Each structure stands twice: as C-alpha cells, then as structure tokens.
Amino acid sequence: QKEVEQNSGPLSVPEGAIASLNCTYSDRGSQSFFWYRQYSGKSPELIMSIYSNGDKEDGRFTAQLNKASQYVSLLIRDSQPSDSATYLCAVNQRGRDDKIIFGKGTRLHILP
Amino acid sequence: DTAVSQTPKYLVTQMGNDKSIKCEQNLGHDTMYWYKQDSKKFLKIMFSYNNKELIINETVPNRFSPKSPDKAHLNLHINSLELGDSAVYFCASSQEPGSYEQYFGPGTRLTVT
C-alpha cells in the first residue's frame, strides 16, 4: 500500500504564531490532497483540499502542494488555542480502487 | 440537520456476540465508506460503496459484512466479535469515489470485553 507520512508530534506553537504541518506521500499518481482536523473524541472534519501545485488560501489556513517533491503542507496563521487538534493529511490513491489514504496525523498544541 | 449520522454512538459487548452499526447520509452523495480508527488513532478504510455497489473491500476479516440497502444508507454487521475489534468506527460519504472530499459521521466507539 502506498504511504502517507506525517510527523506524529506533538507540535507546540505559541498562540499567534504560524503553525506548519507537513506531509509526504509515495504515490506519484496522486491527484487530490486533503487536510482534516480531528479534535479529541470527535470525527475528522475537512478543512482544506488542494489539487494543483502551489498555494491555496482559506482564511487563516494555507495548503501548499509540490507534486515534484511529493510534499503537501498546511500553514495556520495567527494560531489560536482552538486550533489544538490532530491534523490528518489524506491523499487519493489511483488505481483499481479509487480511495483516500490517511496519514497517522500530527498533534498540534497551541500554547496560550 | 445532521449530514452523516451513525447509531449507536457507543457499543459495549462481549466477545463472540454479533452487532450492527447503522449509517445514514442526507447529502445526496453517491459514495459511502466505513473506516476503523484504532487506539493509536490510525484511520484506515475498510469498505466503500458507490451507488449501492461495493467498490473497495480492504483486507478485513469476513466477520465484517457491509450492506447498502440504498445509496443513503450503509450498515456494518460484525459477527463473532473479538477483543481486537475494539475501536472507533466512522462512516463517511463523498459525492463520488476517492478524489472527492469526504464527510464523516460522529463515530461509533465499540468496546469488546
């Protein structure tokens, strides 16, 4: 199975700073990339999707994709304590079964 | 209005029992999924149905049997429950398979004693 790799953390970031979350993937044929946020005891919630190289901004969130390097990242500007959660990177795996593979997630802790 | 709902939210049962989890989505999506999230929080796909047809069947014991009576519903039946089946099971849906954003239900925490 193709892999999606994330640093498990925890990543501690002071309130108001930029949090940078990184993800690498092994399937060069992947076309769709997602970031999900999961609070403890809750279900994953989609926060960003990105399909082409470059940056995509949505409010305080920016997703960055570099297909040549097989790398996708999520930047959170002006981090808030409410951003403390586990962030899951997800990548589609093309083939007979068109499915999404999730990374193991990075725990983010915003320090007040 | 809940987009993806699951019942029950909690399920505690003994080894060897048979149990079912139900899922419904009102988003009009064609594709539904079952995921298992283990104690290490790793989220792994188990099954996917597109328009009531099974399209993904990962390496899951055949004690697990999904059923999709229509494209808005996907149920999961588990026979002969084992301790290792304890996990949170999430249902999800998307407009089409794979490349589209998925929306998750609240999860069912299954504890097998």
Contact B101 A97 (CB under 8 A): no
Contact A43 B40 (CB under 8 A): no
Contact A46 B102 (CB under 8 A): yes
Picking from A90-104, B3-17, B36-50, B71-85, which range would have the lowest pLDDT averaged per residue? A90-104
Could you give the CA distance from residue B31 to residue B53 in angstroms, rounded to a whole number?
A: 9
Count of beta carbons in the 10 Å neighbourhood of residue B70: 9
| pLDDT (0 to 100) of residue B56 | 84
* C-alpha closest to that of A22 among A80, A82, A77, A63: A63
* Distance between A76 CA and the closest CA of chain B, angstroms: 20
| pLDDT (0 to 100) of residue B57 | 84
| pLDDT (0 to 100) of residue A96 | 55
Query: B47 has which bridge partners?
Result: B34, B57
* C-alpha closest to that of B71 among B51, B44, B48: B51
Length, in residues, of chain A: 112
- State yes or no: cis peptide before A10, omega within 30 of 0: yes
Q: What is the mean pLDDT of residues B6-29?
A: 97
Res A1 pLDDT > 60: no
| pLDDT (0 to 100) of residue A25 | 95
- Secondary structure (3-state) at A32: coil
Res B67 pLDDT > 90: yes
Contact A99 B41 (CB under 8 A): no
* Distance between A14 CA and the closest CA of chain B, angstroms: 25
Res B45 pLDDT > 60: yes
DSSP letters spanning A87-101: EEEEEEE-SSS-EEE
Contact A49 B90 (CB under 8 A): no
Could you give the CA distance from residue B32 to residue B25 in angstroms, rounded to a whole number?
A: 8
CB B6 within 8 A of CB B107: yes
Q: Residues near B58 by Cβ (< 8 Å), separated by ≥ 6?
A: B44, B45, B46, B47
Sheet containing A19-25, strands listed edge to edge, beginning at the edge strand earlier in sequence: A4-5, A19-25, A71-76, A61-66, A54-58
B101 touches chain A (CB under 8 A): yes
Name every residue in A having a CB less than 8 A away from some CB of B: 31-32, 34, 38, 42-46, 49, 86, 88, 90, 92-94, 97-102, 104-105
Q: How many CB pairs under 8 A join A and B?
A: 54
Share of chain A above pLDDT 70, in %: 96
Q: What is the mean pLDDT of residues A46-74?
A: 96
